[in-house]
Structure 1
């Protein structure tokens, strides 16, 4: 019967110990892990809020006739710009020409009567000066002259009305802007102040953007105004279009409705934007980014540098002066583009690891490299 040599277990143990020593020696000779860091400094950050809104024309005028008649001609191109005073439609003026001619005749008749009354009053004055005519005769002549003057004024007023109505047979633009589609055509009968407009003119440069904000958020914003917070940052607002692009013009808050909707609890805010290219059209859905407050001595930490521990706390890995990795718990306020706004947990000069996090742990010694300002974001680097 063969027996196992007694020294076999000792040989196996010796070989294993030699392997451990060899691996440990190899690890001790390995250089520190290379990581990319960003050195942080405190700065001022403006908090913003994004609200949905709709574009509205800054001015709008509905074109309606002020006299009745048959449309004989449309004088504008649909969708084209018009200037205040441009002729838009013509109404058949025949009946209004006749009324104006009648008013002219009435004025001429009243003028002739006035001339006769003035001559009669002049003769009465002369006769009375010679003691030929009585005072009553002179008074009657003066009264006839005054009545003739009043009749002339009435006739002239009627002629003015007839002239105004004649002029209104040419319907003109009362606003400069973009005119829409025509709701009528030549040959249609229109009436004065009818319910349906003939067309609509909208001024879309500038335009308004109406957004809604909750009353609670508005209270916070108003308190910041009272504390002088709003004066410390640019009050301009930016606009994001429906396709996700940023509008090239900035706007400003111009008004707020002094009323809270009882059903929704929101307040209507109005922004004004220049629209030189006529890109914004009334009714278009947009998103407005509005500054709300300013924070001092905060840090902008790249989002790829922040992670969450098992308790859900935000943490970052930093490199101290001895190039040793440390883990810090931070307080994240909100996001700002590709960064988080952090107001607690960091100090000026902290070097936060933004690349190489998967290869290090707290207490490890690393070789840090500062991320260049023109480098791509570290979250775009390939995952280790």
Structure 2
């Protein structure tokens, strides 16, 4: 009896071990996982012509800008316009005290009358001396003196006439008018202020807002590349007219009216290394105001014979070169180095490295390796590539 319990325990352990071996032998081994072939979205390589546009920063500037300044000295008696209102060319803006200039005009006119009277007397005396000198009634010297006096009187008349004209001009300057049509700004002087012609006192500013200029800054390197592309024929200019320009405003909205490129500067700024471009835009609603920051899209032409490759399909190798992945023979992947020149609307423009008809992988490129077999499927046109669907998990073995 003392040894019965250990024997029973050892027998139970042996029975359990046998049962476990039996169960293990009866159970089927799980099936090995089948190797899944990844699916990839592909696009067929096809060359086309793509219009190019360059986005540049810029600021708006008025079409015409006139600083209205005093041209005579005096006291401002009246301001005849509303600040910030539109004015027409010739509209009165200010009145400077005209009394001193009226008096100066009257004095000049009196001097002119006196000079004309003196001219009449000198001319009559000269005519008499012409008759008398022929009969030796007067000396030749007296005749010469009379002729000189007549010429001097004529010169005095001319000087007096010029003085009258000057006085009349100065009197006209007392009524300050708008030199251009446009929108007035804040008045820099008030009634009772003393203005001077010598210091050209600023009275106000007028800006013409329709049309409106936009001054853009383009790097000299971009301009050089553009000229090279045009010379080589890879970039073709559209038509013979001026390039169209479109604007994006400060709030991100697109300006409704397209503009045209007026000119391109010929001097590179030494500090910024950029060239100024100027575009002209209609501004009928006065939405554009001087000094606004904008971004302009300038048409450059049409890039010939390029392949539009989605940005997600282009990667960079350690050397910094652009690479893409293709589906080659036997549906095996291969890596190709390409020349990507510009990024337009989320697509790289590839000039060299691809051939028409090749299948370009546009999804899951980062997860693929060269030389593996894939299942290609056509990608949806004009859409960004998406990652391939995950493979379904293997079915679990049925429990016995």
Q: TM-score range by the shorter chain?
A: 0.7 to 0.9
Aligned counterpart in structure 1 of residue 351 of structure 2, from 337, 343, 346: 343
Could you say if the C-alpha distance between residues 337 and 115 of structure 1 is closer, same or farther in structure 2, counting changes exceeding 3 Å?
same
* CA positional deviation for 1:321: 9.9
- Aligned equivalents of 1:313 and 1:144: distance in 2? 94
**Partner SS for 1:342:** strand
Q: Deviations over 1:200-222 (max 9, x none)?
A: 22234444433444444444445
Deviates more, 1:354-363 or 1:276-285: 354-363
The number of equivalent residue pairs is 367
Is 2:377 the counterpart of 1:363?
A: no
Is 2:199 the counterpart of 1:194?
A: yes
Could you say if the C-alpha distance between residues 253 and 148 of structure 1 is closer, same or farther in structure 2, counting changes exceeding 3 Å?
closer
Aligned residue in 2 for 1:141: 146
**Partner SS for 1:182:** coil
Aligned counterpart in structure 1 of residue 259 of structure 2, from 250, 271, 274: 250
TM-score normalised by L of structure 1: 0.76
**Partner SS for 2:18:** coil
Aligned residue in 1 for 2:48: 43
Contact 1:328 1:345 in 2 (8 A): no
Is 2:283 the counterpart of 1:276?
A: yes
Of structures 1 and 2, the larger Rg is shown by 2
* CA positional deviation for 1:351: 4.8
Contact 2:325 2:336 in 1 (8 A): no
**Partner SS for 1:243:** coil
TM-score normalised by L of structure 2: 0.74
* CA positional deviation for 1:363: 2.7
Aligned counterpart in structure 1 of residue 311 of structure 2, from 303, 318, 325: 303
- Aligned equivalents of 2:200 and 2:250: distance in 1? 34
Q: Deviations over 1:316-375 (max 9, x none)?
A: 5666799x5745545344321122223344322345465798999953435x456356xx
Deviates more, 1:204-213 or 1:82-91: 204-213
- Aligned equivalents of 1:160 and 1:303: distance in 2? 74
Q: Cα RMSD between the aligned structures?
A: 4.1
- Aligned equivalents of 1:109 and 1:195: distance in 2? 34
